[in-house]
Structure 1
Amino acid sequence: MMTSSLPRTPKSVAAAGALAAVLFATAAAQEPQRLNDPRLARLDTAARSLVAVAIDSARAAGLPTEPLVQRALEGATKDAPGTLIVSAVQRLAADLGRARTALGASATSPELEAGAAALRAGAGPAVLAQLRRSRRQTITVPLAVLTDLVASGVPVDSAAAAVLALAASARDADLIDFRRAVERDIALGAAPTAATAAAAAGVFGANALDVNAGARGARPGRP
């Protein structure tokens, strides 16, 4: 004769409830932290969910996630539609992935952020990879200088050639001085390519580089 199951006593019910609570807490702890990031509460529900998915995927791929949060918050500050915010975050995540592919698994978060910006400015992955090979120390500043030069109107090929020629032996401070000199000369009316060559000579000495005056212009980055 089959015996009936034992009735659940208050103690067994309490134990089951405690176990469920432990399991729930464990599962919650394993959820991506960004899903609970209070800063994302500024987004509408649909956008917040999709942004959280992008952040979760980036984290799983070993990519920095704070830039994605900041991009979402930038969109919220500008009252951008949720769909545009999600697209911007997804594009940045893709650019960070491309930068990591070009720079290698050892690239730091600042290098990946600077690399993503350089890619969006029009530099090709080969430029990032060559810059990585040419310099032992961090390449965050050289990448940022390249991006700033393009933003100032220097053709992307000229900007890349200049940074590649100088970065191997130049200090970060010298590269920053170089960028400032280029921006100053352009503001005074010099052609961007000529300003680049003149600034390199002024900071690093005559004939520091030979920038191709016929280099193609910068490709506009994606919005």
Structure 2
Amino acid sequence: MKNKSYIGISFIILIFGIYAVPKIYNRVSNDDVVRDRRNEVEPVKEIKKSSNLVKFNKVPTYQFLNQDSITIGNEFFKGKVHVVEFFFTTCPTICPIMNKNMKEIEQAFIKDDDFGIASFTIQPGHDTPSVLKTYMNSYDIKMKNWQMLTGDGGQIMELANKGFNIYAAMDDKAPGGFEHSGLFALVDKNGFIRSRKDEYGNPILCYRGIAQETKDEEGKVIDVLPHQLTELKEDIVKLLKE
């Protein structure tokens, strides 16, 4: 009985081989197996890639006067990618460098209606709308969406330190009477602060608008980090495409 069972099983295997092997051979020869697998994979060109930029908090609500004495708030920048800075017109140190570099950003995106710049003065007692207007003219600023804003000093300081985490403070010992960083913040079309990550995978939060020096206890420069205008421009392009 066992011999008959083996013979029966062998006969079934033989019949299957005669029927199936030629079909498998034909499929491999005609590349049908590979083509069927390809049909299961979505073409790369059809995959929508995200910007991969980190999203932080939404910019707090604000309203200030611009260089034309017009009230400007968050709504003005709704639907626009924009860069934010905090400066003052009489700054004798980093602000001229910041705004020289911001001019480079302006020139790169001056034809983009969906891009803007918001410059908040941290010395509103001096920087009235007319002063801001004169300052803008001195830099030959042409972009219609570049707004220089002034208003309540306390509100502006809170917006800088808490809203954008960009340090700014009054300091009688600092040149010009204010201590502040040379950082630029990037905001997307929906009002959220965005940034890329550094080489260690940590979000940078803000971009260096100027070269950043590190000094030792004696005031000697021991390290210099370059500005991040290239990185900022690359990320503006990403957000404009979102």
TM over 0.5: no
Which structure shows the higher helix fraction?
Answer: 1
Output the TM-score relative to the length of structure 1: 0.24
Output the TM-score relative to the length of structure 2: 0.23
Which structure shows the higher strand fraction?
Answer: 2
**Higher relative contact order, chain-length normalized (CA < 8 Å, sep 6+):** 2
